[in-house]
Amino acid sequence: MELPETFLRRMQALLGAEFGDFLESYSRPAYQGVRLNPLKCDLDTLRRALPVPLISAPFSPFGYYAPELRKPGSLSAHRAGMFYSQEPSAAAPVTVLDPKPGERVLDLCAAPGGKATQIAGLMRGEGLLWANEVVRERANALLSNLERLGVRNSVISCCHPQRLCEGLRGYFDRVLVDAPCSGEGMFRREPEGIGEWAPESPAACAQRQRRILESAALAVREGGVLVYSTCTFSREENEDVVAAFLREHPEFEPLPINVEFGRPGFDGLSRRVLPMDGGEGHFMAKLRRIGENPCRVRRFDRALNEKQSRPARALYESLFADPPDFPLARAGSRLLALPGELPALGGLGVLRAGMELGEERGNRIEPAHGLFMSRQKAQCRQALDFSPEDPALAAFFRGEEIDCAATGYTAVCVCGVTAGFGKASGGKLKNRYPKGLRSP
């Protein structure tokens, strides 16, 4: 791997005596791993569903090294949302953020969804996760990943950070800014990034990062937490960005990061992960707002009333054993099951709020893929369960009909975890697996 000379000189100045160890790390394969999704399965289930061993990683209680894993996206466990394929140390910023069930959490630069889905797992379906991405194509990927992992208490938006945070001023308990950066920590994992790097990249990225932090600060309530992270080594994009922000924002104070992984940053308060620390390359700083920031956000007031909700609730009760204890809203012909607490959404580029329950088609409602993905097998009134190697499961993922003795809508599961659904009649299950997700 041929690294830019300017990059090497900067790293030598940054690391001093450790530069040799850093350079030697580039002769070894990049770390690869998975993060278990606690919304859908436990560790025993994931181990049964994966064809490779898992080794605990220090960056998250749900993170594992999986050095033998190949083509994770083709695995049935991936399709069922049991895991997110992720370089293990990429989980570190959310561990530092430490989101809790019932809180309001904003992931401001969320695509493709690794950190947003990790936050959702820690929130256990309680509270509100707002995941934003300014690039529409990437926002669509974010939405797809949140749906695959069964997240039901989220809002996905495609909005400029300044506009979003002004509209939601003082609303969030925790905000994560995993900022776009020069990506130096990804060179081992994505070597094509080396050709995109230039000596001026860190300075240009630092300007953008400071603007994003300025926006993010607006959204944090008094006493709330703001975590800034990158996947780069440059001090200019890391400690220097945080120092500049704190000089200009006395209403924030730095917090110590009490974790065992990684090493202290050069400011003594932030945290870094280098390849010598078991990960590719990450930086994290944790800040708390100590100044006032009154929240004047209005509550969402467009939920359907009891009469309007009745057909959708009847459909839900026909499919699942648990009660439909969520408000509903309509977006065109689609019906959405909303988080329990939701702000007004107008003007914020919202792509989806909550979970899609189904689509109105004349006098009936066709249930949505995301609805089944958010439910456990035990909640489903009818379910087929397959082993990962079953040919019928592979046929289902190709969009084919499979044998089924039941009648009506039926969940399709792998190792007891929902992966989709179909409608059974005449001994066959008519496939409802989304066409854009099907195997070739």
184-232: pLDDT as tens digits = 999 999 999 999 999 999 999 999 999 999 999 999 999 999 999 999 9
Over residues 16-41, mean pLDDT: 96
Rounded to an integer, what distance in angstroms lies between the CA atom of residue 344 and that of residue 167?
A: 9
383 shares a domain with 234: no
279 shares a domain with 388: no
Over residues 103-130, mean pLDDT: 98
Q: Is the pLDDT reported for residue 143 higher than 80?
A: yes
- 48 occurs within a structural domain: yes
CATH assignment at residue 387? 3.10.450.720
Over residues 262-281, mean pLDDT: 96
390 shares a domain with 259: no
Domain boundary residue, one of 289, 321, 342: 289
pTM to 2 decimal places: 0.97
248 shares a domain with 381: no
Which 8-state DSSP code applies to residue 382? S
Looking at residue 164, its pLDDT comes to 98
241 shares a domain with 386: no
Q: In whole numbers, what is the pLDDT of the chain averaged over residues?
A: 97
Domain boundary residue, one of 272, 289, 306: 289
Q: What is the pLDDT of residues 287-329, one digit of tens each?
A: 999 999 999 999 999 999 999 999 999 999 999 999 999 999 9
**Is 320:380 a contact under the CB 8 Å cutoff?**
yes
DSSP characters for 195-264? HH--TTHHHHHHHHHHHHHHHHHHHEEEEEEEEEEES---GGGTHHHHHHHHHH-TTEEEE----SSSEE
- Give the pLDDT band (50/70/90) at residue 341: confident
Q: What percent of the chain has pLDDT over 90?
A: 98
Q: Which domain holds residue 402?
A: 376-440
User: Which residues touch 207 (CB under 8 Å, ≥6 apart)?
Assistant: none
Over residues 372-393, mean pLDDT: 97
> Which one of the listed residues 158, 231, 380, 415 is annotated catalytic?
231
Q: What is the pLDDT of residues 119-139, one digit of tens each?
A: 999 999 999 999 999 999 999
Note the Cα 383 to chain centre separation in Å: 27
For the chain, the domain total comes to 2
Looking at residue 1, its pLDDT comes to 74
Over residues 89-103, mean pLDDT: 98
Which phi and psi angles does 340 have, rounded to 5°?
-65, -30
219 shares a domain with 71: yes
Q: Is 415 a catalytic residue?
A: no
CATH assignment at residue 131? 3.40.50.150
Residues 266, 270, 276, 279, Cα dihedral to 10°: -150
Rounded to an integer, what distance in angstroms lies between the CA atom of residue 273 and that of residue 281?
A: 5
